[in-house]
Every structure is written in C-alpha cells, then in structure tokens.
C-alpha cells in the first residue's frame, strides 16, 4: 500500500513538493474510503505526455494529466501522469502557485482512478466539488 512520486524528466522537483503530492494523494484515497492502494504519480515533460496522449487517447497534443487505472482486485491501483511544464504554464495562466496547480492535477488524476469522470455536466460538477474540497483541506484554495 502506498503512493510513489517518480520524476521522469531528468530535472528534479523540489523534495517538499513530492512529499506534499504523496501526502495529498494518500489523503484523497483515505477520504474516499480506500484503505488498500498502490498509486504511482509520474512527473513528465511535454514530449512524454504527448506520446502517452497519442498512444492511449489518439490525441496528438500534450495535456496536463493522464490517469491509468489498473486491475488490482479489491485494491485501487494505477498511475497518474502529470506534465510539469504544462502545470507551470497553467499556474501562470490561472494566477496561482505551481504547488496549487500540481496538487490540483494530482487530485484530479486520483479521482479518475476512483471512477470519477467529467464528460457530462452533472459528473463534472460532482468531480469539481470533490477536487475543491480536498484542496481546501490542504489549504490550497484559489
């Protein structure tokens, strides 16, 4: 049971950021009633996320976060992939900190592992409410 944060870019993310992300993902899983889990949170660059997006979604463009739920029986198992350069750009665009943006993407991806979706309006509203609730619990409001 656990959460691993893996920086696959060659550049290093601040160890404090990695600790925050690990703690946040664990907390989200526990708040959602999940007691058994193995989640890998991969931090990647633009080329890596674009290749994954092309391979798995048929979209030849970078994106901010992708989630890959895996078969784990009664456990929640999966990978969440965050594009750090995209997170940096979005933090600037939205006028908040990189920590807040990275945390948002980690929560968003984790909720996808749990089956949350945002394709329909009512699903989007429910998912957004959960995201904001969890970020607020960590003091990461807008």
Assign 13 a pLDDT band (cuts: 50, 70, 90): confident
pLDDT value of residue 1: 74
- State residue 4's pLDDT score: 94
Please check whether residue 89 is in contact with residue 101, taking contact to mean a CB–CB distance below 8 angstroms: no
Q: What's the pLDDT at 64? A: 97
Mean pLDDT over 21-42 rounds to 94
Q: Taking 80 as the threshold, does the pLDDT of residue 10 lie above it?
A: no
CA atoms of 132 and 47, how far apart (whole Å): 29
Average pLDDT, rounded, for the chain: 91
How many other CB atoms sit within 10 Å of the CB of residue 129?
Answer: 10
Hey, where are the domains in the chain?
2-137
- Distance between CA atoms of residues 14 and 132, nearest Å: 24
- pLDDT tens figures, 67-121: 999 877 677 789 999 999 999 999 999 999 999 999 999 999 999 999 998 888 8
Which two tokens mark 132?
């904001």
Residue 59: is its pLDDT beyond 80? yes
Please give the average per-residue pLDDT across 41-61, as a whole number.
96
Can you give the pLDDT at residue 123?
86
Dihedral sign, Cα of residue 101, residue 107, residue 113, residue 116: negative
- Whether 57 shows a pLDDT value over 90: the answer reads yes
Choose the CATH number for 2-137 among 3.30.565.10, 3.40.50.620, 3.40.390.30, 3.90.420.10.
3.40.390.30
Determine contact, residues 62/46, Cβ cutoff 8 Å.
yes
């Amino acid at each position: 049971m656990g959460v691993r944060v893996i920086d696959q870019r060659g550049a290093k993310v601040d160890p404090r950021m990695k600790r925050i992300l690990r703690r946040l993902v664990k907390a989200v899983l526990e708040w959602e009633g999940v007691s058994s889990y193995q989640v890998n949170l991969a931090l990647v660059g633009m080329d890596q996320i674009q290749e994954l997006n092309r391979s798995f979604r048929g979209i030849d463009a970078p994106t901010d976060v992708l989630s890959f739920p895996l078969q784990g029986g009664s456990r929640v198992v999966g990978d969440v992939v965050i594009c750090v350069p995209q997170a940096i750009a979005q933090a600037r665009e939205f006028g908040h900190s990189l920590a807040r943006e990275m945390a948002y993407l980690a929560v968003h991806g984790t909720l996808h592992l749990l089956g949350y979706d945002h394709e329909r309006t009512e699903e989007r509203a429910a998912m957004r409410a959960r995201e904001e609730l969890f970020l607020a619990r960590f003091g990461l409001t807008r």
